A and B are shown apart, each in its own frame.
Chain A
Amino acid sequence: MTASLEVDRLAYAYPDGTQALFGVDLRIERGERVALLGPNGAGKTTLVMHLNGILTAGHGTVTVAGLPVSKDSLKEIRRRVGLVFQDPDDQLFMPTVRDDVAFGPANLGLRGEELQQRVKDALTRVGMLEAIDRPPHHLSFGQRRRVAVATVLAMEPEILVLDEPSSNLDPASRRELAEILRSLDVTVLMVTHDLPYALELCERSLILSGGVIAADGPTRTILSDAALLAGHRLELPYGFTVP
């Protein structure tokens, strides 16, 4: 079976010369939920930007469900990879929730009733259907993040990629988002510092550190290895032990 996502020896340097990725290899099977852990500056966001072709690999390849990321495949790649940005205010740029969720599928060419149905389905999956005609800035932060997830779900992606999904959420919103992510039947790659959240949602974790994958294994095993975590500036919250 082809993997949902395959990254092969990916290296990238920013135009100013900063080498952010030094050869990243990873493979995520269809239906997996994987956490990507790593300290600030590890290259997580840089890696995420390669997954849908916003940044173009300096060296190596990214393949999404068998389709390599390239200039010619961008349109299809962006349908297959649903990127949820860290700040929902960046993601929700249209005047109403309905228009925002419709933006992606409308770019794919959907119109009329089919488009409206797609919007309603996506909002139902994140429990935000009743907000459909409200402006995004009238929603709470947690609600905005859920709508942001819906905007990419509406494109029926092969893989959902979330950058720091639990940041700035209160405990109730954090739990609600976890329930939603668990209920979705898509492949998920979740970038996070929130180690308990990774443990709660993902069986498998990767550690990205210094621009390479430094560890790959069951989340429970990785989080139990205090020396490994400390070596990559990762820490469990005070009082938390892996059950």
Chain B
Amino acid sequence: MSAGHHQLYRAGDTPVHRLPPQCKLAAVAVFALVVVATPREWFAAFGAYALLLAGVAVTARVPAGSVLRRMVIEIPFVLFALAIPFIGTGERVQVAGLSLSLPGLWAAWNILAKATLGVVASILLAATTEPRMLLLGARRLRLPPMLVQIAMFMLRYMDVILEEMRRMRVARESRGFTARDARHIPVVARSAGALFIRSYERGERVHLAMLSRGYTGSMPVIQDLTPSAGQWLLAGTLPGAALALLLGTWGLRAMWGMS
């Protein structure tokens, strides 16, 4: 019962790792907003954002290879983006004998560039922040406490539930059952129902255990994570630089009379 869902995190002791989680969450959110707000024709700005992220990765000692491996979650976006130039309408261009839609190409580039920057920023966040710290950070940023608590229990009970599922499967199979075709769906569905009831009952027992230790509806503050001004400043480097780039580019273009 290994903790497969913790694999995004890479333990370390760098300035990025040490930042309080809510600073990093806020930094990534603002960075993503700046990226999204950047007009798609400003190629140089996107290149500069990528360099900024590379700087964060170097500081956090997160190797490029591990970032790339984690980028598989972006594949659905990539496939979607690749389809657009073919199905898009409007003016068409010929590339290597293929007729592609020009607005489609722009749209694909827009999605790919922005999604990639956002995904890499999130990967860096997850690689340098333990999942439970992310949740504490989310709580400090005043995200809905109920959602944060649910996520916290998922984090804690994922393995317990997976283990229960595994035991039920072993129990089925040791009595000669293997799910092979559609006729077996009712059996598996009944197991799923039993699993749901077990999880529900566990939830009730956990609730009693929480009440027994003085729970009154909100999670107590266990670690004080109040960031210093310096930590906010440090976390602000990434979105700050990106914002400066965006505004700077915009200013320069206005001065040169480009739109």
Contacts and interface: CB of A to CB of B under 8 A. Distances in A.
Contact of A90 (B132, B155, B205): B205
Contacts of A49: 208
A52 B209 CA distance: 11
A75 to B, nearest CB: 6
Nearest to B218: A107
Nearest to B222: A102
Contacts of A75: 214, 216
B123 to A, nearest CB: 21
B94 interface: no
Contacts of A193: none
A89 B160 contact: yes
Q: How many interface residues does chain A have, given as a range?
A: 35 or more
Interface in A82-105: 83, 85, 87, 89-91, 93-96, 98-99, 102-104
B3 A135 contact: yes
B77 to A, nearest CB: 30
Contacts of B167: none
Contact of A106 (B132, B202, B211, B222): B222
B192 interface: no
Q: How large is the interface on B (under 10, 10 to 19, 20 to 34, 35 or more residues)?
A: 20 to 34
A102 B222 CA distance: 7
B206 A137 contact: no
Given A135-B3, A137-B3, A137-B159, A108 B152 contact: no
B216 A54 contact: no
A44 interface: no
Contact of A93 (B209, B223, B224): B209
A138 interface: yes
B181 to A, nearest CB: 34
Given A96-B132, A136-B156, A78 B222 contact: no
Contact of B209 (A85, A135, A155): A85
Interface string B76-119: 00000000000000000000000000000000000000000000
Interface in B139-196: 152-153, 155-157, 159-160
A136 B209 CA distance: 15
A151 B213 contact: yes
Interface of B: 1, 3, 131-132, 152-153, 155-157, 159-160, 202, 205-206, 208-216, 220-224
Interface of A: 49, 52, 54, 75, 78-79, 81, 83, 85, 87, 89-91, 93-96, 98-99, 102-104, 106-108, 111-112, 115, 135-138, 151-152, 155
6 contacts: A78-B214, A85-B208, A90-B206, A93-B156, A106-B221, A152-B213
